[in-house]
Copies of this chain bind each other. A is one copy, B any other.
């Protein structure tokens, strides 16, 4: 049984020749924005119950700690401020603001080649996070990450087909001054990749300067406002149910500056969110609905992504854990809530608890990424490179993970049940008159590039080939690929004049 067909010559040359021919973008089996939605962890009734519980929480518990500007805007829209300082939201207000909210959001790329259209079940994978360590698998070690690491990560992401956006995944720990850090983060990301960038600001007072910096990269404020290629990842709440006062102020400034917002609620079940998966989703949904009220009370229709990012605690220790089935369910359940509201949403998947890019990391990252994609999550954040429960980022892992995301995207694309694919005629000719196999059939040749994804770095050789090839290790291949990418100039590099202009605006810590 299970005797694999190993090597056959029939049609092989033809297949090889075909494989060499480039394929039009729209014929490729996978690409950004494929539609998921075949996986629904919640029943329709469960979705409604979560929605109602979130409305109850907003009406009865509300959120504390809004800045005065936010209180003014939201009470004007219909929220009520209690004596306990908590802002409460009547159902009708939430529903009105959901009507106003942006339902289709384009996240622009700087060069127009990788714009992301967020709506429905369209799936996009990318990086995110605030790792404090670079994982060095060459030396089995962790060290503080730097602006150079961030630039390297951006350069690598720029070359990886299945990494669709680059939200800052790690913190530049070599830059002491926080203002410099924030602007250098933008500099390193944008110089490394033309894909859409996400970043955050340490202090609301930094936003004006950062916006000027971003406008300079865009070639002018009007150009940025027309195609904002950087969005603000904003932790506007401190779960449970409190606004993050300073981040909220930063958010207001970003909105006024024309920057899309990622409304990020990052509770941790059993610690800063309820321990039950359903309860953690309720709280995240309630918090993001408050964010929708906030944004739309200031600027109706401003692009804001519904960023329910509930995480998991290992309840034995209270420590964060991201590589579990519970995490995958949290994320997939949130995706379903986004559809219910019809608002583009994102959540975290692909987090490994493992410290290294090993088998544990592989299965941890795959499970949540696959489930997020099948659930039709628009923005799958932290999908690649993330280790140690978000504390470490790994460049080699990102390269290996690109293939993982390719296979996840293939699953998102799903099964094409067309008349042609049902194949009765092909089956008949093969069985009744033909060679008894499908290797050289026209259908096989037609489908080999449009139905099948071939990995870039993953090894599919036979044991015999693998041994003849000196038993290559996956990690060694990833290290080679990393060096090759980093030795090339990025297509995103700034023109010298722009680079000089940016260096006049702030001290740049990258050569």
Please state if B7 and A326 are interface contacts (CB–CB under 8 Å). Answer: no
Cβ-defined partner of A316 (8 Å) among B16, B140, B264: B16
Please state if B271 and A8 are interface contacts (CB–CB under 8 Å). Answer: yes
Identify which of A275, A321, A355, A413 gathers the most chain B CB atoms within 10 Å of its CB.
A275
Q: Does A61 make an interface contact (CB < 8 A)?
A: yes
Give A396-429 as 1s and 0s: 1 = Cβ < 8 Å from B's Cβ atoms.
0100110110111111011111101111101110
Q: List B contacts of A443 (CB < 8 A).
A: 274-276, 279
Please state if A5 and B313 are interface contacts (CB–CB under 8 Å). Answer: yes
Chain A count of residues within 8 A CB distance of the other chain: 156
Cβ-defined partner of A272 (8 Å) among B5, B84, B365, B446: B5
Please state if A463 and B423 are interface contacts (CB–CB under 8 Å). Answer: no
Please state if B325 and A266 are interface contacts (CB–CB under 8 Å). Answer: no
Which 8 A-B pairs have CB atoms at the shortest separation, nearest pair first?
A362-B362, A325-B410, A279-B423, A4-B320, A276-B421, A363-B366, A315-B448, A366-B366
**One of A212-220, A288-296, A453-461 contacting the partner:** A453-461
Shortest distance in angstroms between A140's beta carbon and chain B's nearest beta carbon? 6
Cβ-defined partner of A411 (8 Å) among B329, B409, B413: B329
Q: Does A319 make an interface contact (CB < 8 A)?
A: yes
Shortest distance in angstroms between A370's beta carbon and chain B's nearest beta carbon? 5
Count this chain's copies in the assembly. 2
Q: List B contacts of A437 (CB < 8 A).
A: 240, 271-272
Q: List B contacts of A409 (CB < 8 A).
A: 325
Shortest distance in angstroms between A207's beta carbon and chain B's nearest beta carbon? 16
Identify which of A283, A367, A388 gathers the most chain B CB atoms within 10 Å of its CB.
A367
Please state if A314 and B49 are interface contacts (CB–CB under 8 Å). Answer: no
Q: Does A431 make an interface contact (CB < 8 A)?
A: yes
Decide yes or no: A3 and B358 within 8 Å by CB, A326-B453, A333-B415 being known contacts: no
- Give the distance in Å from the alpha carbon of A140 to the alpha carbon of B424 in the complex: 45
Q: Does A1 make an interface contact (CB < 8 A)?
A: yes
- Give the distance in Å from the alpha carbon of A323 to the alpha carbon of B392 in the complex: 27
Shortest distance in angstroms between A57's beta carbon and chain B's nearest beta carbon? 6
Q: List 16 A-B contacts (CB under 8 A).
A: A1-B129, A2-B129, A4-B389, A39-B40, A61-B431, A142-B466, A240-B437, A274-B426, A276-B416, A276-B443, A282-B424, A315-B447, A316-B454, A323-B458, A324-B410, A363-B366
Q: List B contacts of A441 (CB < 8 A).
A: 275
Please state if B329 and A271 are interface contacts (CB–CB under 8 Å). Answer: no
Interface of A is mostly: mixed
- Closest B residue to A276 by beta carbon equals B421
- Give the distance in Å from the alpha carbon of A437 to the alpha carbon of B242 in the complex: 12
Q: List B contacts of A360 (CB < 8 A).
A: 362, 400, 403, 458-459, 474
Given contacts A61-B427, A358-B475, 10 further A-B contacts (CB under 8 A): A5-B268, A5-B313, A42-B415, A42-B417, A53-B424, A57-B424, A61-B431, A276-B421, A315-B448, A325-B410
- Give the distance in Å from the alpha carbon of A364 to the alpha carbon of B406 in the complex: 11
Please state if A422 and B460 are interface contacts (CB–CB under 8 Å). Answer: no
Please state if A408 and B319 are interface contacts (CB–CB under 8 Å). Answer: no
Q: Does A38 make an interface contact (CB < 8 A)?
A: yes
Please state if A415 and B277 are interface contacts (CB–CB under 8 Å). Answer: yes
Cβ-defined partner of A366 (8 Å) among B319, B362, B416, B418: B362
